[in-house]
Chains A and B, each alone.
Chain A
Amino acid sequence: MLKRVHFPSSPLPYLLVAPQIIITVVFFMWPASQALYQSLLIEDAFGLSTEFVWFENFAALAEDDQYLGTFWRTAIFSTLVAFLSMSVALILAGFADRVVKGATTYRTLLIWPYAVAPVLAGALWVFMFNPTLGIFPYFLDMIGIKWNHYLNGRQAMGLVIAAAAWKQVAYNFLFYLAAMQSIPRSIIEAAAIDGAGPIRRFWTQIMPLISPTTFFLIVINVVYAFFETFGIIHVVTQGGPANSTTILVYKVFNDGFVGLDLGGSAAQSVILMVIVIVMTVVQFRYVEKKVEY
């Protein structure tokens, strides 16, 4: 942690950490503690009086069917986003790993969606699926499917998942490809000499060997689906129709800034913070251990 050879104590190190610490305190710790405190208050509709109510906001959330529904929806949403983007990335990386010449070209062509902001990804997909103009509803209509994600909750959810997964394929592909390329060729060759075909080698050798990457990516993808997809939902469906695409982060924003229910929104923030902390701990435990082969 500390260098064996180091500088003696002086005011200098305090000056060096000061900017970071000040920003951390002012914009992170203070707001977080405010959220904690507000989650224990109930404010009346006009903001005239506040009352300290201990855990009433949390109790109200636990009994709120809408909130519990949002919880489930978030779980389903993030599972599907993670599964979809990771499996597409795995297939593409598995094939890209076999390419001798031109692997970098394929990589370049596949990684750029990482740079697209979630809200822009949402805008592109909402344009492609625009019920009157979009190219996909036009083709879907030919096979007898009426597409309108402004009215149909399931279609809205499907569209949001597709846009979120599309953006994340690039990231997963990059990590899967790097993991596969770091497997020693001699192992693969030995199996080939023993008569294992490409598909058999993929399932019995490559998949187990990249399992640490898979685990790491599951955590990253779930965090992504929980928090960074706000922009996609905000631009594609605004949580609708009839809340069918409202996930936890969107509800915090909506209840706080639109509904002005400060206590309830703060209580939701606190629950989200706990979820983030649990995920971070899981991720760091993994970094410490690195799943063994």
Chain B
Amino acid sequence: MVENRPFMTFITHLVLILGVMMIALPIWITLVAASHDEIRMLQAPIPMLPGTHFIDNLKQTLFGAGLSGDQTPVWRMLFNSLAMAMMISVGKIAISLISAFAIVYFKFPFRMGFFWMIFITLMLPVEVRILPTFEVVANLGLLNSYWGLSIPLIASATATFMFRQVFLTIPDEMLESARIDGAGPMRFFWDILLPLSRTNIAALFVILFIYGWNQYLWPLLITTDTDMTTIVMSIKQMLESAEQSPKWNIIMMTAFLAMLPPILVVVGMQKLFVQGLTETDK
């Protein structure tokens, strides 16, 4: 702070606290709704203070029986989401690392051609070319599988770009000394490049995990088998079923469970998250 103005300091904190409350309001209402029983959630106005049924609702939601019909239990959806998010993030990091390595450390014909091919993928979000991509996946027989959920989203220009940037900052002397000591390309990659880019990998992982977990349109199209439903896409079906049997306590508990893992990742690894966000987008 430049000068001491007690009134301004008061205003500062007031505005920030109001901002935090405004941002947190939707999740507060979700938590409150998830902690009341079904009957209470049908009476307007809905409560603004937490109730006592949080644990009950949690059990009902996680292990089925919460919603009528043969709904997939929520633990299964959580597992599907986790599998998809892990495959997308690990896959993206792995293939981007090796292709950035090839482009920075090898001289070979079509090097720049490959670089531009990867770069083009950055320009086309999956929403834009959704129909033909769906046809490709269907023809390959990948519908309703973890591979179909993750592989089409795995190619990544941003990650390749970022690792290229990281590798370019590593001094040339590293490679020279490694070669004098007789290390081949893969040895150099494992023993020197990977350890040196450890924090970048971690930061990228945080961002990609959230990206993978939050996928919506893609899983919606390629999973017809209810066993493959991810938790994020289940919300839509639940809201639709709410028109007949509105179990808002269960729906909001599911919504809460769906956003909890990525929120924990952001809050728990805040430093890596901020680093990853600024590195990949700038």
Contact = CB atoms under 8 A, between A and B. Distances in A.
Interface of A: 1-10, 12-14, 16-17, 19-21, 23-32, 34-35, 38, 88, 91-92, 95-96, 98-100, 106-121, 123-128, 132-135, 138, 166, 169-171, 174-175, 178, 185, 188-189, 192, 198, 201, 216, 220, 227, 230-231, 234-235, 249, 252-253, 256-257, 262, 265-266, 269, 272-273, 276-277, 280, 287
Contacts of B102: 12-14, 16-17
A159 to B, nearest CB: 12
26 contacts: A7-B105, A9-B107, A10-B108, A13-B111, A16-B99, A20-B118, A21-B114, A27-B133, A27-B136, A28-B121, A28-B129, A95-B12, A95-B19, A98-B8, A106-B16, A110-B23, A112-B267, A124-B255, A127-B251, A127-B252, A133-B246, A230-B127, A234-B236, A235-B236, A265-B131, A273-B123
Contacts of B235: 119-120, 123, 235
Contacts of A113: 23
Contacts of B273: 111
Which 7 pairs between the two chains have the least Cβ-Cβ distance?
A: A31-B132, A117-B214, A115-B262, A34-B132, A16-B102, A13-B106, A13-B102
Decide if the interface of chain B is mainly helix, strand, loop or mixed.
Answer: helix
B154 A252 contact: no
Interface of B: 1-3, 5, 8-9, 11-13, 15-16, 19-20, 23-27, 29-30, 33, 41-42, 44-46, 48, 94-96, 98-99, 101-109, 111-112, 114, 117-118, 120-125, 127-133, 135-137, 151-152, 154-155, 160, 167-168, 172, 175-176, 179, 185-186, 210, 213-214, 216-217, 221, 232-233, 235-236, 239, 246, 248, 251-252, 255, 258-259, 262-263, 265-267, 270, 273-274, 277-278, 281-282
B16 A92 contact: yes
Nearest to A14: B108
B234 to A, nearest CB: 10
Contact of A109 (B23, B117, B135): B23
A3 B166 CA distance: 12
A21 B120 CA distance: 11
A25 B249 CA distance: 45
A17 B98 CA distance: 7
Given A24-B117, A117-B259, A9 B108 contact: yes
B206 to A, nearest CB: 10
Given A108-B267, A119-B233, A132 B44 contact: yes
A21 B23 CA distance: 41
Q: Which of B48, B132, B258 has the most CB of A within 10 A?
A: B132
Contacts of B117: 21, 24-25, 29
